[in-house]
Amino acid sequence: MADFNMQGIDDLMSDLNTLNTDRIAPTMLEEAVPILEENVKRRTAAHKATGALTESMKASKAKQTKEGYSISVRPTGKDDKGVSNMEKACYLEYGTSKQTATPVISPAVRESEEAVTEKMQEVFEREMKKLGDF
């Protein structure tokens, strides 16, 4: 039968319980979101007619919901003709009956995942060091 040594787990749990998640979670998200925002803008720029869609891509502020904290990068506003940039992004991402889908957001999310995770880990470790013993 396996014998698991749990020494140190109590200390780790104590440290995690003292971590102010209401401060660190938004900090982790807000420091990492520029990576995603840059990749979304780069991918969107390849399909620009005027550049309005690319320029409309903005990161939101981190917010807390019942599921936890979240942040997003999304198109905002309308172009010169009054067409919603969100609508144009949906047409680009999913296509229409007359336009083939050319996903930009999904690939940007996938290619950003590793760098975003690394950045969030870096912020987490920095905040844990402030508590000491990490």
Over residues 46-76, the pLDDT tens digits come to 887 778 899 999 999 999 999 999 999 999 9
Check residues 128 and 33 and name the one with the higher pLDDT.
33
Longest dimension (CA), the chain: 71
**Average pLDDT, rounded, for the chain:** 87
Distances (CA, A) of 9 to 19, 77, 126: 15, 49, 20
Tell me the pTM.
0.80
Segment 99-113 shows an average pLDDT of 95
pLDDT of res. 48: 76
For every residue of 48-94, DSSP letters joined together read -SSSHHHHHEEE---EEETTEEE--EEE-SB-TTS-BHHHHHHHHHH
Query: What CA–CA distance (Å, rounded) separates 57 from 121?
Result: 25
Residue with tokens 């050319």: 102
pLDDT of res. 32: 97
Can you state the percent helix, strand and coil of the chain, rounding each to 5? 55, 10, 30
- Asked whether the predicted pLDDT for residue 77 surpasses 80, the reply is yes
Contact of 92 with 49, CB cutoff 8 Å: no
Distances (CA, A) of 13 to 76, 120, 133: 41, 19, 13
Distance, first Cα to last Cα, the chain: 31
- Asked whether the predicted pLDDT for residue 17 surpasses 70, the reply is no
